Amino acid sequence: MTKKQKFYLTTPLYYVNDVPHIGHAYTTIAADVLARFKRMSGFDVYFLTGTDEHGQKIADAAKEHNYSPQEYVNMVVERFKDAWLTLGISYNDFIRTTEERHVKVVQNIFQKLLDQGDVYPGEYEGWYCTPCETFWTEFQVSETGNTCPDCKRPVHKLKEKTFYFKLSKYQDKLLKHIESHPEFVLPASRRNEVLSFIKQGLKDLSVTRTTFKWGVPVPGQEGHVVYVWFDALINYISAPGFTSNEKKFAGLWPADVHLMGKEIVRFHAVIWPIMLMALGLPLPKTVFGHGWWTVEGEKMSKSKGNVVDPIALSKEYGVDPVRYFLLREVPFGVDGDFSKKSFINRYNSDLANDIGNLLNRTLTMVEKYFGGVIPEAGENTFDEASEELVNLANETPGIVASQMDKLAFSDALSAVWELINKANKYIELEAPWKLSKEGKTDNLKSVIFNLCDVLRTVAILVTPFIPTTTSRMWEQLGLTDPIEKPGIKIAGTKVAKADPLFPRLEKK
């Protein structure tokens, strides 16, 4: 038996100082869709997500809510797990940075880098943004009026004993890797930003803190805890078993795709690969930074009260419409804008009118003309319209696979919807009601079979995106074989028409 090819993908570890919002959901749903698609394509998928639970920001939030840091993270992490359960996220592993399996690896790596001279003692004095857990140079903050260049909030001067990691030592090596591997940082706009950042010159990174205690303790260095980003990035190798399960680790690393929002690409495309270079490990194949979501043209913020809660949205409209909208509305990689109006328009147009209507009309005709049993095809390309539909149905899976390999989720869905729209027009062109009236039974059989076979193909292709809906489609088509099974035959099955997949929504 041939061993399955592995596919290892990750979300970032989400910082547990807040509840999950649409930005967290966007990354995680995209990762889930990719994981489901790869599983259906025969890959052995390892899909990792988790939570980043250390750092000053967590300690401050815990104090504000009258909890110890551990109590606080234990409480908040459940919100993420509950959210991913609600949104149908099929992760294989969920790692927390407070887990012993992670802490031990962080400490082992720190000691190894210290022993080989890539980490060294010193003193840090400079600007620090607590909300972003990021150090900034005098020049960087002077350009923004002593505010964080990323979040625009005030930074504060920090002076403390620290250990430095030799980023500068590996600058040229990293630059050469990125320039010779265009797929390493995607999309191209992020790659250009990273290259520009590196060419400005990398400075060694302060990787321990002594002004607070909530972090991974540095062995033998009392008072030092590991800098939260240095700690968190290691999850990508601690979870699959680096230093604890070498066989498992060798079978999984390197990661195929790290997915994240664009604001943290620099950490993943500069600090992380240099850490791996220092450890002598291969680099991940792709770091992909997607865009941000605004809400009706404005940046999401608590103060504006416009933060979109994906769970509340899912409870109101259903999980699958939320999953579909996020990955269909804008190309993956660019910024998107959310509004209730655009969501409802997309729902009614694509889901209710297009796919929902196609299923409902087709099954109604199967019941009316063939007693609810899908007919044999006969000569299913008896005319030009039939030939075009069948050809497009045969071509679409390859188009979708090509787009999914590029993480072009919206384009993949566009290809499926081209097929759906073609099938809806096919009904009008062929007018099955006329074929029945004129006694053209063979042609009628072919039309109805072609429509049912398109629905079978569509259900398979959109399963990674809207899995609950396609399970209902599969049942209504009368199919019982697993949806990923190749070569499923539909002729002769008894359909089970049910309520519409997507009842139309009233515009608000």
pLDDT at 507 > cutoff 90: no
Global confidence as pTM: 0.93
Q: Which two tokens stand for residue 431?
A: 């007018």
Which tens digits make up the pLDDT trace of 406-418? 999 999 999 999 9
Which tens digits make up the pLDDT trace of 240-295? 999 999 999 999 999 999 999 999 999 999 999 999 999 999 999 999 999 999 88
Average pLDDT value for residue range 142-150: 75
217 Rama sector, left if φ>0, alpha if ψ -120 to 50, beta otherwise: beta
Going from N- to C-terminal start, the domains of the chain cover: 340-476
Is residue 330 a contact partner of residue 293, using CB atoms and an 8 Å limit?
A: no
Specify the higher pLDDT residue, 51 or 488.
51
Helix axes 357-370, 467-476, angle to 10 degrees: 10
Which tens digits make up the pLDDT trace of 110-131? 999 999 999 999 987 778 887 7
Instruction: Write down the pLDDT at residue 143.
Output: 67
Fold of 340-476: Isoleucyl-tRNA Synthetase; Domain 1 (1.10.730)
pLDDT at 145 > cutoff 90: no
Instruction: Write down the pLDDT at residue 303.
Output: 65
d(CA 374, CA 478): 9
Instruction: Write down the pLDDT at residue 2.
Output: 67
pLDDT at 141 > cutoff 90: no
Strand order of the β-sheet with 185-186 is 93-96, 44-52, 6-15, 257-261, 286-290, 185-186
Which tens digits make up the pLDDT trace of 422-449? 999 999 999 999 999 999 999 999 999 9
Kindly list the distances between the CA atom of residue 259 and the CA atoms of 13, 291, 315, 492, in Å, as whole numbers in the listed order: 10, 11, 26, 43
Closest by CA to 95, choosing from 233, 288, 248, 207, is: 233
Long-range contacts of 212-220 (CB under 8 A, 24+ apart): 212/56, 212/59, 213/59, 214/54, 214/55, 214/56, 214/58, 214/59, 214/62, 214/69, 215/54, 215/55, 216/54, 216/97, 216/103, 216/106, 216/107, 217/107, 218/107, 218/110, 218/163, 219/107, 219/110, 219/111
pLDDT at 43 > cutoff 90: yes
By mean pLDDT, which of 1-15, 120-134, 387-401 is the weakest?
A: 120-134
pLDDT at 319 > cutoff 60: yes
Instruction: Write down the pLDDT at residue 247.
Output: 95
Kindly list the distances between the CA atom of residue 19 and the CA atoms of 14, 59, 83, 96, in Å, as whole numbers in the listed order: 10, 16, 9, 16
By mean pLDDT, which of 26-40, 127-141, 319-333, 371-385 is the weakest?
A: 127-141
Q: What is the mean pLDDT of the chain?
A: 93
